[in-house]
Amino acid sequence: MTETAADARPTRPAEADPAAGAAAPSRRLLLLMAVATGLSCAGNYFAQPLLDLITRDLHIGTTLAGLLVTASQAGYALGLLLIVPLGDVLDRRRLAVGLLAATALFLALTAAAPNGPLLLAGTVAVALTAVGAQVVVGYAAALVPDEARGRTVATVMSGVLLGGLLARTVSGALAGLGGWRTVYWVSAIPVAVMAVALHRYLPRARSTARLSYPALLRSSLSLLREEPLLRSRSVLGGLSLASYSVQLTALTFLLARPPYNWSEGAIGLFGLLGAIGVLAMTFAGRLGDRGFTQYVTGSGIVLLGGGWLLLLAGERSLLWLSLGIVALNIGQQAVLNSSQTVLYALRPEARNRLNSVFMTSFFIGGATGSALTAVVWARVGWPGVCLLGAGLAAGALAVWGLERIRAERGTAH
């Protein structure tokens, strides 16, 4: 089932994207953008393996330390809602560079935080400006023709995924060398370097849109009302990340107890299996560019659901556990890439607002999945967690099925 015209055409005439006339980005520039996105968002994950060290060093309670993770998620969500839409009305290069420079500054300030409240404030500020990664992704999508958008978005988004995966491992290693502040000091430098590099190599792309900031935010909500495809993909994306996040949260609980009894370091390294999803995203992007976007979405959701069957058998088998994690990672990245590819084709002049709405729903879904996991694990254990993850994947499949039925009816009429 290849993508039909009804899947992606705008519901109203759309003005041309201001970046559409720029020269197609070279592979070197795309890799630079990928590295920039990875470094930009990595700071959101530094604190997760360091909470015990931070608690002892700053003499703060575990409640405040735990809020660091929540603060990072909340700050990023606010940035998606309040900052990313600006990419539709401002010079995208200047916005991306400014956000990366701000991230570098806030990383340094976080490293120097003398107490818990200032560390919490720094964490929120880092997360708020880390959405520069999403501005860069939207920028990359605007620089290429439709037939190359899938693999271009996949290349740049791979930086976001690797940044999140590697941040935890690097954070623990650097903290072992010089304390928890070291990772923030060290990471501020390459982020600042990336800001300079983007300023030098990105072409200018100032939008022709003329909207006040309040009108810009209102228009994001209008897009959600006016575009059925944005609504369905937002719900689908939220459910898919909720299913995937169940595994992220429950895996630590499972591996820390018999029969595995793994250390925290071993659990962290095992999580690097998720890097396979980066390769899957690139492959999914190429399939999407060949007209198979809908197949990629459907296959990704099926892999999500099937992965939970493998994970159920993985309660006492490392082989099945590994295969299940690989299936979930491939499925999740396929859904993410295909959804962004479909949405970026809707309205070229509103790509940042479309991405803002979609990614906000996406991360809300992830946070909900993590919260549900803690409750289900405490009451039912691993089998209940697997049922929860599979149920969320089934919900995503139902939403996609309804989207396909609506698209087919629209084509028939």
- Model confidence over 91-129: pLDDT tens digits? 889 999 999 999 999 999 999 999 999 999 999 999 999
- The span from the CA of 287 to the CA of 335, in Å, is 12
Q: Is 26 left (phi over 0), alpha (psi -120 to 50) or beta?
A: beta
pLDDT score recorded for residue 385: 95
pLDDT of 1 strictly over 50: no
DSSP class of residue 350?
A: G
pLDDT of 168 strictly over 80: no
pLDDT of 298 strictly over 70: yes
Q: For residue 180, what are its two tokens?
A: 């928890």
- The span from the CA of 286 to the CA of 341, in Å, is 11
pLDDT score recorded for residue 412: 55
pLDDT of 147 strictly over 60: yes
How many residues are there in the chain?
413
- The span from the CA of 299 to the CA of 248, in Å, is 21
pLDDT score recorded for residue 96: 95
pTM summary value: 0.82
pLDDT grade for 264, boundaries at 50, 70 and 90: low
- Model confidence over 326-368: pLDDT tens digits? 999 899 989 998 998 899 888 888 889 999 999 999 988 988 8
Q: Strand, coil or helix: what is 205? A: coil
pLDDT score recorded for residue 5: 36
Cα distances from 410 to residues 17, 174, 346, 398, 404, in angstroms, run 26, 55, 16, 18, 10
- Model confidence over 34-84: pLDDT tens digits? 999 999 999 988 887 787 788 888 988 877 776 787 788 888 989 999 999
pLDDT score recorded for residue 368: 87
Of these ranges, 16-25, 157-166, 172-181, 232-241, the one predicted with the greatest mean pLDDT is 232-241
pLDDT of 378 strictly over 70: yes
pLDDT score recorded for residue 312: 96
pLDDT score recorded for residue 107: 97
- Model confidence over 301-326: pLDDT tens digits? 999 999 999 999 999 999 999 999 99
Q: Which residue has the higher pLDDT, 138 or 265?
A: 138
* Mean of all residue pLDDT scores within the chain: 86
Q: What average pLDDT does this structure show over 182-201?
A: 95
Tell me which residue of 53, 54, 41, 33 sits closest to 113, measured CA to CA: 54
